[in-house]
């Protein structure tokens, strides 16, 4: 009987240890790139400008870190944000400021980090957020990129 209890305890605690290990693996931060272009704007914007956002996201802490570079835009960059909820081809409101709020002369690169709210984290993880870089000539956004985090296994 004591052997049965020992085996049962081993299975339970071994299973818990394995589950904890799997949770840690799934919660590892992921890094990915988001290309930015005028063609992704809604409606599309004709611009020689382009950009790239390098993002790192930790689903356990809901912290997103960014480094966004851009060049060739038609005029002075005024601001940049995460917008959502919106799939590709749709527009939505501002969720997170990527540039310094109130600074209307933004230069490349833009770096920073934020902790997303639980609702914003769900949008981010579902691919329902996008990055928008705004300029004086295109105040509604000149370049845009849909945020599509890689799926964890």
The pTM score is 0.80
Distance CA 53, CA 2 (A): 59
- Examine residue 140 and state whether it is found in any structural domain, yes or no: yes
Q: What's the number of domains the chain is made of? A: 1
Q: What is the CATH number of the domain that holds 101?
A: 2.60.40.200
- Examine residue 62 and state whether it is found in any structural domain, yes or no: yes
**Mind listing the pLDDT tens digit for each residue in 50-97?**
999 999 999 999 999 999 999 999 999 999 999 999 999 999 999 999
Distance CA 17, CA 30 (A): 23
Report the sign of the C-alpha dihedral through residues 18, 23, 25, 26, in that order: positive
CB atoms within 10 A of CB 42: 16
- Examine residue 18 and state whether it is found in any structural domain, yes or no: no
- Examine residue 55 and state whether it is found in any structural domain, yes or no: yes
pLDDT the model gives residue 22: 43
Question: Domain range spanning residue 52?
Answer: 28-147
- Examine residue 10 and state whether it is found in any structural domain, yes or no: no
- Examine residue 131 and state whether it is found in any structural domain, yes or no: yes
């Amino acid at each position: 009987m004591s052997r049965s209890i020992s085996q049962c305890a081993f299975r339970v605690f071994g299973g818990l240890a394995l589950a904890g290990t799997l949770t840690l693996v799934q919660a590892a931060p992921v890094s990915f790139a988001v290309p930015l272009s005028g063609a992704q704007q809604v409606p599309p914007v004709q611009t020689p400008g382009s950009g790239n956002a390098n993002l790192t996201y930790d689903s356990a802490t809901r912290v997103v870190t960014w480094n966004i570079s851009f060049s060739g835009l038609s005029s002075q960059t005024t601001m940049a944000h995460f917008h959502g909820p919106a799939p590709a081809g749709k527009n939505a409101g501002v969720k997170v400021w990527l540039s310094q709020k109130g600074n209307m002369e933004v230069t490349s690169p833009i770096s920073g980090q934020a902790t997303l709210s639980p609702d914003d984290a769900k949008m981010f993880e579902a691919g329902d957020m996008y990055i928008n870089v705004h300029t004086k000539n295109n105040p509604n956004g000149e370049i845009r990129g849909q945020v599509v985090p890689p799926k964890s296994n």
